[in-house]
Chains A and B, each alone.
Chain A
Amino acid sequence: MSATIVSLDLDPEVPLSQQGPAPARVVAGFGFWLFLLSDIILFAALFATYAVLSSATAGGPTGTELFDKRHVFMETLCLLASSVTCGFGSLAVARTDARAMYLAMIATFVLGAAFLWMEVTEFAGMVSMGAGPSHSAFLSAFFALVGTHGLHVTLGLAWLVVMLLQVATLGFQPMVARRFFCFGLFWHALDIVWIGVFSIVYLGAH
């Protein structure tokens, strides 16, 4: 645990032209930021599909009949809380404070898993009611959009477990800290996508 993160702060005494290329953490952060924006464009395509098809219910159940706003509100709170605990976890990684990091990141995992569990129960309930993705264009678009978000959350949870194992085995090396930092960006971006999902899909249901 003796290794610490390379400081991000530039030395103000050295002129910029003599500081060389940007530090790895800045480059990695920017590259991952570009990936996240491309991922959000993927979601934009799914949102557009959903918006076009949301009234094509083919005589099947509509959104207002299927969605339970209280359930969605709980999901939203779980994801929001997990985003905040993830932020505190990232701060703990920056301080190389292992205890605070485990505490915050395990809370993030539990809240993320709770979100996912609620989503899976919702999907299972809809499919058992006969409102599966094959029932209408509206439901296909719904499962594609919300399912892709859920898949991202699943992958995020798997990534979090890998990061916790890396900290446990490798310690807070600069490389591990960079990855953990990218995980934090990913998790916050998923929460931003979820704002779009609950606003357009669940609250905009008609």
Chain B
Amino acid sequence: MQADSPAQGHSPGVATGSDPHHGRSYLIGLGFALVLTAASFWASSTPLVYARALPVLIAVLAVAQMGVHVAFFLHVSSAPDQANNFLALAFGVFITALVVFGSLFIMANLDHNMVSMDQLMQMQR
């Protein structure tokens, strides 16, 4: 009955009330996080990765590691009893993306439309 009664909710950070494998989730998370961290530091200092693809690779590794932390450390998932937490997380991610990409887009656009310093000097002559 509990399985189909999601309304009561469930706080983030608790896997399930008395899960004996709860401690193991931190160790699994630690393993994944170490591999991903080592991979991004390695990628940034090796000549083997194509330099222009590097930011994308590091971003992918960072997003993956954030996912690992959310799933294995915060224990937030898309399970039915976690609908509130997951929706709040989705909204937070949405606002974060809006702020970051919106700012970058607007500033790049302003920069593009701005008269360059050289041209400004020419005009003042």
Contacts and interface: CB of A to CB of B under 8 A. Distances in A.
B52 to A, nearest CB: 12
A16 B2 CA distance: 8
Q: Is the interface of B mostly helix, strand, loop or mixed?
A: helix
A109 interface: no
A30 interface: yes
Interface stretch (A83-91, A122-130, A162-170): A83-91
A40 B17 contact: no
Contacts, number: 140
Contacts of A59: none
Interface residues of A, number: 54
A52 interface: yes
Interface residues of B, number: 52
Interface string A190-202: 0110011011100
Given A37-B91, A84-B26, A203-B40, A48 B99 contact: yes
A69 B34 contact: no
A33 B69 contact: no
Contact of B37 (A7, A38, A80, A196): A80
Q: By DSSP majority rule, is chain A's interface helix, strand, loop, or mixed?
A: helix
Contacts of B95: 41, 44
Interface of A: 7-10, 12-13, 15-16, 19, 22, 25-26, 28-30, 33-34, 37-38, 40-41, 44-45, 47-49, 51-52, 69, 73, 76-77, 80-81, 83-84, 87-88, 90-91, 181, 184-185, 188-189, 191-192, 195-196, 198-200, 203-204
